[in-house]
Amino acid sequence: MVVRAENWTHDPSRIALYFIDEKFRGLYPRQRYHRLVHLIPSDYYRTNLADSIWFELAPGERPEDVVDPDDELIAAIAPDVLRSLQERDFFAALDDLLCPVNSNSQPQTCTGDFRQAKQALQMCGFEESDWSDVFHVLMEQGGFCDCEILYNAAEESRLKARYWKPECRRRSHEGHG
Ligand SMILES: [Zn+2]
pLDDT band at 39 (very low <50, low <70, confident <90, very high): confident
Mean per-residue pLDDT for 89-104?
92
Residue 172 has pLDDT above 50, yes or no: no
- Ligand 1: centre distance to CA 109 (Å): 8
- Ligand 1: centre distance to CA 104 (Å): 22
pLDDT at residue 173, rounded to an integer: 47
Q: 21 near 129, Cβ under 8 Å?
A: no
- Ligand 1: centre distance to CA 159 (Å): 11
- Ligand 1: centre distance to CA 81 (Å): 21
- Ligand 1: centre distance to CA 9 (Å): 36
3-state helix, strand, coil split of the chain in percent (to 5) is 50, 10, 35
On the 0-12 / 13-18 / 19+ scale of CB atoms within 10 A, 50 is exposed
Instruction: Give CB contacts under 8 A, 24+ apart, made by 97-101.
Output: 97/146, 98/146, 98/147, 98/150, 98/159, 98/172, 99/150, 99/157, 99/158, 99/159, 99/162, 99/168, 99/172, 101/158
Considering the chain, what is the average pLDDT of its residues? 90
- The whole-angstrom separation of Cα 160 and Cα 101 is 13
- Ligand 1: centre distance to CA 143 (Å): 8
Residue 131 has pLDDT above 90, yes or no: yes
pLDDT band at 167 (very low <50, low <70, confident <90, very high): low
- Ligand 1: centre distance to CA 14 (Å): 33
- Ligand 1: centre distance to CA 20 (Å): 22
On the 0-12 / 13-18 / 19+ scale of CB atoms within 10 A, 81 is buried
- Ligand 1: centre distance to CA 42 (Å): 21
- Ligand 1: centre distance to CA 145 (Å): 5
- Ligand 1: centre distance to CA 78 (Å): 21
Residue 72 has pLDDT above 60, yes or no: yes
Higher local confidence (pLDDT), 175 or 98: 98
Least confident interval from 69-73, 115-119, 163-167 = 163-167
- Ligand 1: centre distance to CA 113 (Å): 7
How many CB atoms within 10 Å of residue 51? 8
pLDDT at residue 6, rounded to an integer: 93
Mean per-residue pLDDT for 154-173?
69
